[in-house]
Chain A
Amino acid sequence: MGSNDVFWNEIQLIEEATRLLEESEYIDKRDYSKLISAYRTLLNQTKKLTKMSDRHQNKLSDLLERISRYVPAPLYKKITQGKEKVEINHTKRVKLTIFFSDIMDFSSHSANMEGEALSAILNSYLEEMTNIVNKHGGTLDKYIGDAIMVFFGDPDYIDDFEHARRCLNMALEMRQRMKELQKHWFDLGYPDPLHIRMGISTGFVSAGNFGSSEHMDYTVIGTAVNLASRLQEYAAADQILIAHETWGFVKDHVICKEPQFIKELKGFSKGVYAYEVVGLKDKLIPQTLVYEDKARDVVIRFSPDVIAPSELNKIIEELLSQRKALSSEEQEDEYEL
Protein backbone atom coordinates (compact mmCIF):
# COMPACT_ATOMS: atom_id res chain seq x y z
CA MET A 1 0.00 0.00 0.00
CA GLY A 2 1.82 3.13 -1.26
CA SER A 3 -0.42 6.16 -1.40
CA ASN A 4 -3.19 6.68 1.21
CA ASP A 5 -5.77 6.13 -1.51
CA VAL A 6 -7.65 2.92 -0.55
CA PHE A 7 -7.71 1.92 -4.22
CA TRP A 8 -3.99 2.43 -4.69
CA ASN A 9 -3.33 -1.25 -5.48
CA GLU A 10 -6.13 -1.37 -8.05
CA ILE A 11 -4.92 1.83 -9.72
CA GLN A 12 -1.41 0.40 -9.91
CA LEU A 13 -2.74 -2.84 -11.39
CA ILE A 14 -4.62 -1.02 -14.15
CA GLU A 15 -1.60 1.20 -14.91
CA GLU A 16 0.62 -1.88 -15.13
CA ALA A 17 -1.82 -3.67 -17.44
CA THR A 18 -2.11 -0.56 -19.61
CA ARG A 19 1.67 -0.23 -19.81
CA LEU A 20 2.04 -3.85 -20.89
CA LEU A 21 -0.53 -3.39 -23.64
CA GLU A 22 1.02 -0.16 -24.90
CA GLU A 23 4.66 -1.17 -24.78
CA SER A 24 4.67 -4.63 -26.34
CA GLU A 25 2.94 -6.42 -29.11
CA TYR A 26 2.88 -9.61 -27.12
CA ILE A 27 2.24 -10.01 -23.45
CA ASP A 28 4.59 -12.37 -21.62
CA LYS A 29 2.79 -15.37 -20.18
CA ARG A 30 4.22 -14.67 -16.69
CA ASP A 31 3.01 -11.06 -16.73
CA TYR A 32 -0.39 -12.18 -17.93
CA SER A 33 -0.54 -14.81 -15.19
CA LYS A 34 0.34 -12.15 -12.61
CA LEU A 35 -2.44 -9.93 -13.90
CA ILE A 36 -4.99 -12.77 -13.74
CA SER A 37 -3.99 -13.50 -10.15
CA ALA A 38 -4.31 -9.84 -9.21
CA TYR A 39 -7.73 -9.57 -10.87
CA ARG A 40 -8.86 -12.70 -9.06
CA THR A 41 -7.88 -11.11 -5.74
CA LEU A 42 -9.72 -7.96 -6.77
CA LEU A 43 -12.86 -9.93 -7.63
CA ASN A 44 -12.81 -11.71 -4.26
CA GLN A 45 -12.42 -8.42 -2.46
CA THR A 46 -15.30 -6.88 -4.39
CA LYS A 47 -17.56 -9.81 -3.55
CA LYS A 48 -16.62 -9.59 0.10
CA LEU A 49 -17.18 -5.86 0.33
CA THR A 50 -20.50 -6.07 -1.51
CA LYS A 51 -21.66 -8.75 0.90
CA MET A 52 -20.66 -6.64 3.90
CA SER A 53 -22.27 -3.54 2.47
CA ASP A 54 -25.52 -5.42 1.85
CA ARG A 55 -25.48 -6.66 5.43
CA HIS A 56 -24.96 -3.15 6.79
CA GLN A 57 -27.82 -1.83 4.71
CA ASN A 58 -30.12 -4.61 5.89
CA LYS A 59 -29.17 -3.94 9.50
CA LEU A 60 -29.78 -0.22 9.06
CA SER A 61 -33.12 -0.88 7.46
CA ASP A 62 -34.07 -3.19 10.32
CA LEU A 63 -33.02 -0.61 12.92
CA LEU A 64 -35.00 2.15 11.23
CA GLU A 65 -38.07 -0.04 11.09
CA ARG A 66 -37.85 -0.71 14.84
CA ILE A 67 -37.25 2.95 15.64
CA SER A 68 -40.26 3.92 13.49
CA ARG A 69 -42.53 2.19 15.98
CA TYR A 70 -41.53 4.64 18.69
CA VAL A 71 -41.84 7.80 16.63
CA PRO A 72 -45.01 9.27 15.03
CA ALA A 73 -45.10 8.39 11.33
CA PRO A 74 -45.03 11.97 9.93
CA LEU A 75 -42.14 12.90 12.24
CA TYR A 76 -40.22 9.73 11.44
CA LYS A 77 -40.49 10.56 7.76
CA LYS A 78 -39.15 14.07 8.31
CA ILE A 79 -36.27 12.92 10.51
CA THR A 80 -35.12 10.19 8.13
CA GLN A 81 -35.30 12.61 5.21
CA GLY A 82 -33.04 14.95 7.18
CA LYS A 83 -35.59 17.77 7.24
CA GLU A 84 -35.94 18.09 11.01
CA LYS A 85 -33.17 19.57 13.14
CA VAL A 86 -32.23 17.21 15.94
CA GLU A 87 -31.50 19.78 18.63
CA ILE A 88 -33.36 21.40 21.49
CA ASN A 89 -34.42 25.05 21.37
CA HIS A 90 -35.50 24.47 17.79
CA THR A 91 -39.23 25.31 18.02
CA LYS A 92 -41.71 27.11 15.84
CA ARG A 93 -45.08 28.83 16.34
CA VAL A 94 -47.80 27.17 14.37
CA LYS A 95 -51.60 26.88 14.48
CA LEU A 96 -52.65 23.31 15.15
CA THR A 97 -55.72 21.38 16.13
CA ILE A 98 -55.02 19.40 19.29
CA PHE A 99 -56.87 16.30 20.46
CA PHE A 100 -56.91 14.50 23.79
CA SER A 101 -58.82 11.36 24.71
CA ASP A 102 -58.93 8.90 27.52
CA ILE A 103 -61.06 6.05 28.81
CA MET A 104 -63.40 7.34 31.49
CA ASP A 105 -62.65 5.95 34.98
CA PHE A 106 -59.94 3.72 33.58
CA SER A 107 -58.16 3.55 36.93
CA SER A 108 -61.15 1.98 38.67
CA HIS A 109 -61.73 -0.39 35.72
CA SER A 110 -58.12 -1.50 35.83
CA ALA A 111 -58.34 -2.17 39.57
CA ASN A 112 -60.96 -4.80 38.73
CA MET A 113 -58.86 -6.53 36.07
CA GLU A 114 -56.00 -8.98 36.10
CA GLY A 115 -52.75 -7.58 34.74
CA GLU A 116 -52.82 -9.70 31.58
CA ALA A 117 -56.43 -8.77 30.76
CA LEU A 118 -55.65 -5.12 31.40
CA SER A 119 -52.66 -5.23 29.02
CA ALA A 120 -54.67 -7.04 26.36
CA ILE A 121 -57.56 -4.56 26.49
CA LEU A 122 -55.34 -1.49 26.68
CA ASN A 123 -53.13 -2.65 23.80
CA SER A 124 -56.06 -3.56 21.58
CA TYR A 125 -57.64 -0.18 22.35
CA LEU A 126 -54.44 1.74 21.59
CA GLU A 127 -53.81 -0.31 18.44
CA GLU A 128 -57.29 0.44 17.08
CA MET A 129 -57.16 4.12 17.97
CA THR A 130 -53.66 4.50 16.51
CA ASN A 131 -54.82 3.01 13.21
CA ILE A 132 -57.56 5.63 13.11
CA VAL A 133 -55.08 8.42 13.92
CA ASN A 134 -52.86 7.33 11.02
CA LYS A 135 -55.83 6.94 8.68
CA HIS A 136 -56.75 10.59 9.19
CA GLY A 137 -53.18 11.90 8.99
CA GLY A 138 -52.79 12.92 12.64
CA THR A 139 -49.46 13.10 14.43
CA LEU A 140 -49.61 10.82 17.45
CA ASP A 141 -47.76 12.78 20.12
CA LYS A 142 -47.89 10.34 23.02
CA TYR A 143 -49.77 7.79 25.04
CA ILE A 144 -50.11 8.52 28.75
CA GLY A 145 -51.51 5.24 30.00
CA ASP A 146 -54.95 5.10 28.39
CA ALA A 147 -54.80 8.75 27.31
CA ILE A 148 -53.89 9.68 23.75
CA MET A 149 -52.62 13.04 22.51
CA VAL A 150 -52.72 13.81 18.79
CA PHE A 151 -52.23 16.98 16.80
CA PHE A 152 -52.99 18.01 13.23
CA GLY A 153 -50.97 20.51 11.21
CA ASP A 154 -47.40 19.51 12.02
CA PRO A 155 -44.95 18.48 10.72
CA ASP A 156 -47.01 18.68 7.52
CA TYR A 157 -49.18 21.80 7.29
CA ILE A 158 -52.15 21.94 4.88
CA ASP A 159 -54.66 24.50 6.16
CA ASP A 160 -56.49 25.19 9.41
CA PHE A 161 -59.89 24.06 8.10
CA GLU A 162 -58.52 20.78 6.82
CA HIS A 163 -56.74 19.98 10.09
CA ALA A 164 -59.81 20.67 12.19
CA ARG A 165 -62.01 18.62 9.84
CA ARG A 166 -59.65 15.66 9.86
CA CYS A 167 -59.48 15.79 13.63
CA LEU A 168 -63.24 15.72 13.93
CA ASN A 169 -63.52 12.87 11.44
CA MET A 170 -60.96 10.97 13.50
CA ALA A 171 -62.77 11.63 16.78
CA LEU A 172 -66.10 10.48 15.38
CA GLU A 173 -64.59 7.33 13.95
CA MET A 174 -62.90 6.62 17.30
CA ARG A 175 -66.22 6.95 19.06
CA GLN A 176 -67.90 4.60 16.62
CA ARG A 177 -65.08 2.06 16.86
CA MET A 178 -65.26 2.20 20.64
CA LYS A 179 -68.87 1.02 20.49
CA GLU A 180 -67.77 -1.96 18.41
CA LEU A 181 -64.89 -2.68 20.77
CA GLN A 182 -67.24 -2.66 23.75
CA LYS A 183 -69.11 -5.60 22.21
CA HIS A 184 -65.81 -7.34 21.45
CA TRP A 185 -64.53 -6.95 25.02
CA PHE A 186 -67.86 -8.06 26.42
CA ASP A 187 -67.59 -11.25 24.35
CA LEU A 188 -64.09 -11.74 25.74
CA GLY A 189 -65.55 -11.76 29.23
CA TYR A 190 -65.16 -8.19 30.39
CA PRO A 191 -68.69 -7.04 31.33
CA ASP A 192 -68.23 -3.34 32.15
CA PRO A 193 -68.32 -1.16 29.04
CA LEU A 194 -65.44 1.28 28.63
CA HIS A 195 -66.28 4.79 27.45
CA ILE A 196 -64.08 7.25 25.64
CA ARG A 197 -64.18 11.00 26.19
CA MET A 198 -62.52 13.54 23.93
CA GLY A 199 -61.48 17.20 23.90
CA ILE A 200 -60.37 19.23 20.88
CA SER A 201 -59.10 22.77 20.49
CA THR A 202 -57.39 24.84 17.81
CA GLY A 203 -54.84 27.57 18.34
CA PHE A 204 -51.22 28.71 18.13
CA VAL A 205 -48.71 26.49 19.92
CA SER A 206 -44.96 26.06 20.09
CA ALA A 207 -43.95 22.88 18.25
CA GLY A 208 -40.50 21.34 18.38
CA ASN A 209 -37.91 19.52 20.48
CA PHE A 210 -38.24 19.86 24.23
CA GLY A 211 -36.06 18.21 26.86
CA SER A 212 -32.31 17.88 27.20
CA SER A 213 -29.64 17.42 24.56
CA GLU A 214 -29.35 13.76 25.61
CA HIS A 215 -33.04 12.99 25.48
CA MET A 216 -35.56 15.11 23.65
CA ASP A 217 -39.21 14.80 22.83
CA TYR A 218 -40.88 16.32 19.76
CA THR A 219 -44.11 17.77 21.10
CA VAL A 220 -46.29 20.89 21.31
CA ILE A 221 -46.99 23.23 24.18
CA GLY A 222 -49.37 26.15 24.64
CA THR A 223 -52.80 27.28 25.72
CA ALA A 224 -54.57 25.30 22.99
CA VAL A 225 -52.94 22.12 24.29
CA ASN A 226 -54.09 22.81 27.85
CA LEU A 227 -57.60 23.62 26.66
CA ALA A 228 -57.97 20.39 24.68
CA SER A 229 -56.80 18.43 27.70
CA ARG A 230 -59.22 20.22 30.08
CA LEU A 231 -62.14 19.75 27.70
CA GLN A 232 -61.38 16.05 27.55
CA GLU A 233 -61.37 15.85 31.37
CA TYR A 234 -64.66 17.77 31.49
CA ALA A 235 -66.38 15.67 28.83
CA ALA A 236 -68.92 13.04 29.78
CA ALA A 237 -68.81 9.45 28.61
CA ASP A 238 -68.66 9.18 24.78
CA GLN A 239 -68.73 12.94 24.48
CA ILE A 240 -66.62 14.98 22.06
CA LEU A 241 -66.19 18.55 23.31
CA ILE A 242 -64.65 21.11 21.01
CA ALA A 243 -63.44 24.64 21.73
CA HIS A 244 -65.01 27.68 20.08
CA GLU A 245 -62.16 28.24 17.62
CA THR A 246 -62.35 24.64 16.44
CA TRP A 247 -66.10 24.98 16.03
CA GLY A 248 -65.44 27.99 13.81
CA PHE A 249 -63.52 25.77 11.40
CA VAL A 250 -65.91 22.80 11.41
CA LYS A 251 -69.40 24.28 11.86
CA ASP A 252 -70.24 23.53 8.23
CA HIS A 253 -68.93 20.01 8.58
CA VAL A 254 -70.45 18.72 11.82
CA ILE A 255 -73.61 19.17 13.84
CA CYS A 256 -73.09 20.42 17.36
CA LYS A 257 -75.42 21.09 20.23
CA GLU A 258 -75.88 24.62 21.49
CA PRO A 259 -72.66 25.89 23.06
CA GLN A 260 -72.21 25.54 26.78
CA PHE A 261 -70.31 28.10 28.79
CA ILE A 262 -67.99 26.28 31.17
CA LYS A 263 -67.26 28.68 34.02
CA GLU A 264 -64.81 26.58 35.96
CA LEU A 265 -62.13 25.01 33.84
CA LYS A 266 -58.72 24.68 35.45
CA GLY A 267 -56.34 27.23 33.96
CA PHE A 268 -59.13 29.19 32.27
CA SER A 269 -60.47 31.54 34.93
CA LYS A 270 -62.66 33.50 32.50
CA GLY A 271 -64.51 30.37 31.40
CA VAL A 272 -64.74 28.94 27.88
CA TYR A 273 -67.41 28.08 25.34
CA ALA A 274 -67.48 24.44 24.35
CA TYR A 275 -69.59 22.54 21.86
CA GLU A 276 -70.69 18.94 22.04
CA VAL A 277 -70.30 17.24 18.66
CA VAL A 278 -73.27 15.18 17.55
CA GLY A 279 -72.07 13.93 14.19
CA LEU A 280 -71.18 14.73 10.59
CA LYS A 281 -73.66 16.98 8.83
CA ASP A 282 -73.97 14.93 5.68
CA LYS A 283 -74.20 11.62 7.54
CA LEU A 284 -76.82 12.44 10.15
CA ILE A 285 -80.44 11.71 9.33
CA PRO A 286 -82.27 14.47 11.18
CA GLN A 287 -84.56 12.99 13.77
CA THR A 288 -87.72 14.97 14.37
CA LEU A 289 -90.00 14.57 17.30
CA VAL A 290 -93.41 16.13 17.81
CA TYR A 291 -94.53 17.49 21.15
CA GLU A 292 -98.21 18.33 21.57
CA ASP A 293 -99.59 20.26 24.53
CA LYS A 294 -103.38 20.27 24.02
CA ALA A 295 -104.10 22.18 27.22
CA ARG A 296 -102.03 25.11 26.07
CA ASP A 297 -102.81 24.57 22.36
CA VAL A 298 -99.16 24.10 21.39
CA VAL A 299 -97.60 21.72 18.85
CA ILE A 300 -93.83 21.77 18.43
CA ARG A 301 -91.72 19.81 15.98
CA PHE A 302 -88.06 19.68 17.08
CA SER A 303 -84.82 17.78 16.59
CA PRO A 304 -83.59 16.18 19.83
CA ASP A 305 -80.07 16.43 18.40
CA VAL A 306 -80.31 20.19 18.74
CA ILE A 307 -82.82 20.72 21.53
CA ALA A 308 -82.91 18.52 24.59
CA PRO A 309 -86.41 17.50 25.67
CA SER A 310 -85.67 19.04 29.08
CA GLU A 311 -85.38 22.46 27.43
CA LEU A 312 -88.82 22.19 25.80
CA ASN A 313 -90.80 23.65 28.69
CA LYS A 314 -88.73 26.79 28.75
CA ILE A 315 -89.19 27.20 24.98
CA ILE A 316 -92.97 26.70 25.26
CA GLU A 317 -93.19 29.32 28.03
CA GLU A 318 -91.31 31.77 25.82
CA LEU A 319 -93.55 31.03 22.81
CA LEU A 320 -96.72 31.40 24.89
CA SER A 321 -95.64 34.74 26.28
CA GLN A 322 -94.83 35.95 22.76
CA ARG A 323 -98.21 34.69 21.53
CA LYS A 324 -99.92 36.54 24.38
CA ALA A 325 -98.05 39.72 23.55
CA LEU A 326 -99.05 39.39 19.89
CA SER A 327 -102.69 38.85 20.79
CA SER A 328 -102.73 41.99 22.97
CA GLU A 329 -101.33 44.06 20.08
CA GLU A 330 -104.04 42.76 17.70
CA GLN A 331 -106.79 43.67 20.20
CA GLU A 332 -105.38 47.18 20.62
CA ASP A 333 -105.37 47.53 16.83
CA GLU A 334 -109.07 46.46 16.73
CA TYR A 335 -109.96 49.02 19.41
CA GLU A 336 -108.20 51.71 17.41
CA LEU A 337 -110.14 50.74 14.28
Chain B
Amino acid sequence: MSLNITILGTKHTPHIEFDADHQRLSIVGDSYPENAGDTYFPVVEKLDVYFNDPGQFLRVELTIPFANTSSSKVLTDLFTKFQGLCDQGHKIELTWFYPYGDYDCRENGELLLEDVEFPYKMVELSE
Protein backbone atom coordinates (compact mmCIF):
# COMPACT_ATOMS: atom_id res chain seq x y z
CA MET B 1 0.00 0.00 0.00
CA SER B 2 1.47 3.39 -0.97
CA LEU B 3 2.09 5.80 1.83
CA ASN B 4 2.15 8.74 -0.58
CA ILE B 5 -0.50 11.34 0.08
CA THR B 6 -1.38 14.73 -1.39
CA ILE B 7 -3.79 17.08 0.39
CA LEU B 8 -4.73 19.99 -1.86
CA GLY B 9 -4.45 23.45 -0.36
CA THR B 10 -7.44 25.75 0.16
CA LYS B 11 -7.89 29.41 1.12
CA HIS B 12 -7.28 28.47 4.75
CA THR B 13 -5.07 25.36 4.55
CA PRO B 14 -1.70 24.58 2.99
CA HIS B 15 -0.87 22.16 0.19
CA ILE B 16 0.59 19.02 1.82
CA GLU B 17 2.55 16.35 0.01
CA PHE B 18 4.16 13.31 1.53
CA ASP B 19 6.21 11.36 -1.02
CA ALA B 20 7.46 8.30 0.83
CA ASP B 21 9.23 6.97 -2.29
CA HIS B 22 11.41 10.08 -2.46
CA GLN B 23 11.59 10.53 1.35
CA ARG B 24 10.08 13.99 1.23
CA LEU B 25 7.41 15.92 3.13
CA SER B 26 6.34 19.32 1.84
CA ILE B 27 3.85 21.78 3.38
CA VAL B 28 3.23 25.01 1.45
CA GLY B 29 0.76 27.78 2.23
CA ASP B 30 -1.01 29.67 4.99
CA SER B 31 -2.49 27.48 7.67
CA TYR B 32 -5.54 28.72 9.58
CA PRO B 33 -8.15 25.96 9.42
CA GLU B 34 -11.11 25.63 11.79
CA ASN B 35 -9.70 22.31 12.97
CA ALA B 36 -5.96 21.86 12.46
CA GLY B 37 -6.18 18.25 13.53
CA ASP B 38 -8.47 17.43 10.60
CA THR B 39 -6.01 19.07 8.21
CA TYR B 40 -2.83 17.40 9.40
CA PHE B 41 -3.98 14.10 10.88
CA PRO B 42 -4.12 12.20 7.56
CA VAL B 43 -0.45 12.90 6.79
CA VAL B 44 0.68 12.29 10.37
CA GLU B 45 -0.93 8.85 10.20
CA LYS B 46 1.14 8.09 7.10
CA LEU B 47 4.31 9.36 8.77
CA ASP B 48 3.74 7.07 11.75
CA VAL B 49 3.60 4.06 9.42
CA TYR B 50 6.64 5.28 7.45
CA PHE B 51 8.78 5.52 10.57
CA ASN B 52 7.86 2.04 11.71
CA ASP B 53 10.71 0.83 9.50
CA PRO B 54 14.07 1.44 11.21
CA GLY B 55 16.70 3.95 10.08
CA GLN B 56 14.39 6.05 7.90
CA PHE B 57 15.39 9.40 6.37
CA LEU B 58 13.00 12.30 5.72
CA ARG B 59 13.60 15.65 4.05
CA VAL B 60 11.05 18.18 5.35
CA GLU B 61 10.36 21.41 3.42
CA LEU B 62 8.02 23.91 5.03
CA THR B 63 6.75 27.19 3.57
CA ILE B 64 4.06 28.43 5.95
CA PRO B 65 3.88 32.25 5.93
CA PHE B 66 1.05 32.27 8.46
CA ALA B 67 -0.05 29.60 10.94
CA ASN B 68 -2.84 30.14 13.44
CA THR B 69 -2.39 28.99 17.00
CA SER B 70 -3.84 25.51 16.56
CA SER B 71 -1.69 24.95 13.44
CA SER B 72 1.34 26.11 15.42
CA LYS B 73 0.41 23.57 18.10
CA VAL B 74 0.32 20.81 15.47
CA LEU B 75 3.72 21.91 14.14
CA THR B 76 5.35 21.90 17.60
CA ASP B 77 3.94 18.41 18.22
CA LEU B 78 5.30 17.32 14.85
CA PHE B 79 8.75 18.71 15.62
CA THR B 80 8.71 17.04 19.05
CA LYS B 81 7.82 13.78 17.32
CA PHE B 82 10.64 14.29 14.79
CA GLN B 83 13.08 14.87 17.66
CA GLY B 84 11.90 11.65 19.30
CA LEU B 85 12.39 9.79 16.00
CA CYS B 86 15.92 11.17 15.65
CA ASP B 87 16.66 9.97 19.21
CA GLN B 88 15.61 6.50 18.00
CA GLY B 89 18.08 6.56 15.11
CA HIS B 90 16.02 8.01 12.25
CA LYS B 91 17.32 11.02 10.28
CA ILE B 92 15.45 14.25 9.63
CA GLU B 93 16.60 17.32 7.65
CA LEU B 94 14.29 20.30 7.74
CA THR B 95 14.21 23.54 5.74
CA TRP B 96 11.98 26.40 6.82
CA PHE B 97 11.37 28.68 3.82
CA TYR B 98 10.11 32.19 4.42
CA PRO B 99 8.87 34.79 1.93
CA TYR B 100 11.27 37.50 0.85
CA GLY B 101 11.52 40.13 3.59
CA ASP B 102 9.07 38.36 5.90
CA TYR B 103 11.16 38.23 9.03
CA ASP B 104 8.11 37.56 11.19
CA CYS B 105 7.72 34.24 9.38
CA ARG B 106 11.39 33.51 9.91
CA GLU B 107 11.14 34.27 13.62
CA ASN B 108 8.06 32.06 13.94
CA GLY B 109 10.02 29.19 12.42
CA GLU B 110 12.94 29.78 14.77
CA LEU B 111 10.59 29.84 17.73
CA LEU B 112 8.88 26.61 16.73
CA LEU B 113 12.24 24.87 16.18
CA GLU B 114 14.17 26.27 19.14
CA ASP B 115 14.08 23.01 21.17
CA VAL B 116 15.02 20.59 18.38
CA GLU B 117 18.47 19.08 17.89
CA PHE B 118 18.08 17.69 14.39
CA PRO B 119 19.54 19.86 11.62
CA TYR B 120 17.41 22.60 10.11
CA LYS B 121 17.95 25.60 7.83
CA MET B 122 16.21 28.95 7.43
CA VAL B 123 16.00 29.92 3.74
CA GLU B 124 14.65 33.19 2.39
CA LEU B 125 12.71 32.81 -0.86
CA SER B 126 13.61 35.12 -3.71
CA GLU B 127 11.48 38.21 -4.33
Cβ of B72 within 8 Å of any chain A Cβ, yes or no, is yes
Q: In the complex, which residues 58-95 of chain B have their Cβ closer than 8 Å to any Cβ of chain A?
A: 68-70, 72-74, 76-78, 80-81
Cβ of A270 within 8 Å of any chain B Cβ, yes or no, is no
The 0/1 profile, CB within 8 Å of B marked 1, for residues 84-117 of chain A is 0000000000000000000000000000000000
Bound together, the chains give a CA A5 to CA B41 distance in angstroms of 9
Are B36 and A45 touching (Cβ within 8 A)? no
Are B77 and A49 touching (Cβ within 8 A)? no
Are B74 and A45 touching (Cβ within 8 A)? no
Contacts of B68 in A (CB 8 A): 56
Q: Categorize the interface residue count of chain A.
A: 10 to 19
Contacts of A53 in B (CB 8 A): 69
Contacts of B108 in A (CB 8 A): 52, 55
Are A49 and B38 touching (Cβ within 8 A)? no
The interface centre, meaning the residue of B35, B77, B78, B81 with most chain A CB atoms within 10 A of its CB, is: B77
Are B115 and A44 touching (Cβ within 8 A)? yes
Contacts of A59 in B (CB 8 A): 104
Q: In the complex, which residues 269-319 of chain A have their Cβ closer than 8 Å to any Cβ of chain B?
A: none
A6-B37, A55-B108 known; A1-B81 Cβ under 8 A:
yes
A9-B77, A44-B115, A55-B104 known; A4-B35 Cβ under 8 A:
yes
Q: In the complex, which residues 21-64 of chain A have their Cβ closer than 8 Å to any Cβ of chain B?
A: 41, 44-45, 48-49, 51-53, 55-56, 59
Count of residues in B whose CB is under 8 Å from the partner chain: 26
From B41, B44, B73, B111, A51 is in contact (CB under 8 Å) with B111
A1-B41, A1-B44, A44-B115 known; A6-B73 Cβ under 8 A:
yes
Cβ of A3 within 8 Å of any chain B Cβ, yes or no, is yes
From B37, B77, B115, A3 is in contact (CB under 8 Å) with B37
Bound together, the chains give a CA A52 to CA B44 distance in angstroms of 23
Are B76 and A49 touching (Cβ within 8 A)? yes
Q: In the complex, which residues 14-50 of chain B have their Cβ closer than 8 Å to any Cβ of chain A?
A: 35-38, 40-41, 44, 48
Are B38 and A4 touching (Cβ within 8 A)? yes
Bound together, the chains give a CA A55 to CA B48 distance in angstroms of 32
Bound together, the chains give a CA A8 to CA B35 distance in angstroms of 13
Tell me the nearest residue of chain A to B115, going by C-beta: A44
Contacts of A1 in B (CB 8 A): 41, 44, 48, 77-78, 81
Cβ of B112 within 8 Å of any chain A Cβ, yes or no, is yes
Contacts of B48 in A (CB 8 A): 1
Q: In the complex, which residues 86-127 of chain B have their Cβ closer than 8 Å to any Cβ of chain A?
A: 104, 107-108, 111-112, 114-115
Bound together, the chains give a CA A52 to CA B110 distance in angstroms of 11
The interface centre, meaning the residue of B69, B74, B114 with most chain A CB atoms within 10 A of its CB, is: B69
Contacts of B35 in A (CB 8 A): 4, 6
Are B72 and A49 touching (Cβ within 8 A)? yes
Contacts of B77 in A (CB 8 A): 1, 6, 9, 45
Are A48 and B76 touching (Cβ within 8 A)? yes
Contacts of B36 in A (CB 8 A): 6
Contacts of B112 in A (CB 8 A): 48, 52
Contacts of B38 in A (CB 8 A): 4
A4-B35, A4-B41 known; A52-B81 Cβ under 8 A:
no
Are A49 and B41 touching (Cβ within 8 A)? no
Are B80 and A48 touching (Cβ within 8 A)? no
Bound together, the chains give a CA A190 to CA B116 distance in angstroms of 65
Are A49 and B69 touching (Cβ within 8 A)? yes
Nearest chain A CB to B31 CB, angstrom units: 12
Contacts of A5 in B (CB 8 A): 37
A-B contact pairs, 20 of them (CB 8 A): A1-B44, A1-B48, A1-B77, A1-B78, A4-B38, A4-B41, A5-B37, A6-B36, A6-B70, A6-B73, A7-B73, A8-B37, A9-B77, A45-B73, A48-B76, A48-B114, A49-B72, A52-B108, A56-B69, A59-B104
7 interchain residue pairs of minimum CB distance:
A4-B41, A4-B37, A6-B37, A6-B73, A1-B44, A45-B76, A6-B70
Q: Which residues in B have some Cβ–Cβ distance to A below 8 Å?
A: 35-38, 40-41, 44, 48, 68-70, 72-74, 76-78, 80-81, 104, 107-108, 111-112, 114-115
